[in-house]
Amino acid sequence: MLDFSSDIILRGDHVSMVKKIQELFENPDYIDIYLVAGAVGVIKNKKSQEISEMNISPITIPRNVLTNSQRNKYIELIFGAVALNEYLYDDEDRAIKVAFEESSETDNKKMERKVLFHQYALGGLEYLYRELIEKYEDSDSAPIIIISEFFDKMRELSSTVKYI
């Protein structure tokens, strides 16, 4: 099981991107935006690094949201799939170990999965921002409607999940 010993913190331009996306889609939770952005980053093979800007207050996704037993199962699976995708073509054995091995899992493997996902989530945020905010001014465009429906489903799902 992944150990979230710290919160996820978004900084700099990524904070502005999350807030614009959140506003466009009627305020989905930060965790939902983060997970969708991670999936988009993987699909589009887009990673990014954090840009620290001191004049923008960071966004925090609390670790208790991540460690909720119901949600954690999905997050673990997503993080594992990201690691598998990252290493599969270079070293199949390593890909499987980093992605799914738990019995002898080291803190380094856990951290590697978290860092990889975070890089893809940042890249996915940039992609979503560019494709949805910069290209479309009206919220009735097809991509916005599709993602809006997805966030509605995420809200329904998260209302059935009890947080710690």
Instruction: Tell me if 109 is assigned to some domain.
Output: yes
In this structure, is residue 101 part of a structural domain? yes
Q: pLDDT per residue over 31-65, tens digit each?
A: 889 988 998 898 889 999 987 666 788 899 888 88
Position 147 confidence tier, pLDDT thresholds 50, 70, 90: low
Parent domain of 18 = 8-141
86 vs 35 pLDDT, higher one: 35
110-117 long-range contacts, CB within 8 A, separation 24+ = 110/2, 110/3, 112/83, 113/2, 113/79, 113/80, 113/82, 113/83, 114/2, 114/79, 116/79, 116/82, 116/83, 116/86, 117/38, 117/78, 117/79, 117/82
Residue 95 falls within a domain, yes or no? yes
**Is 13 a member of any domain?**
yes
| Domain-embedded: residue 110 | yes
Give the pLDDT confidence of 92-139 residue by residue, as tens digits. 777 777 666 664 455 676 777 788 889 999 999 999 888 877 776 555
Q: Is 39 within the bounds of a domain? A: yes
58 within domain boundaries? yes
What is the count of structural domains for the chain?
1
- 122, part of any domain: yes
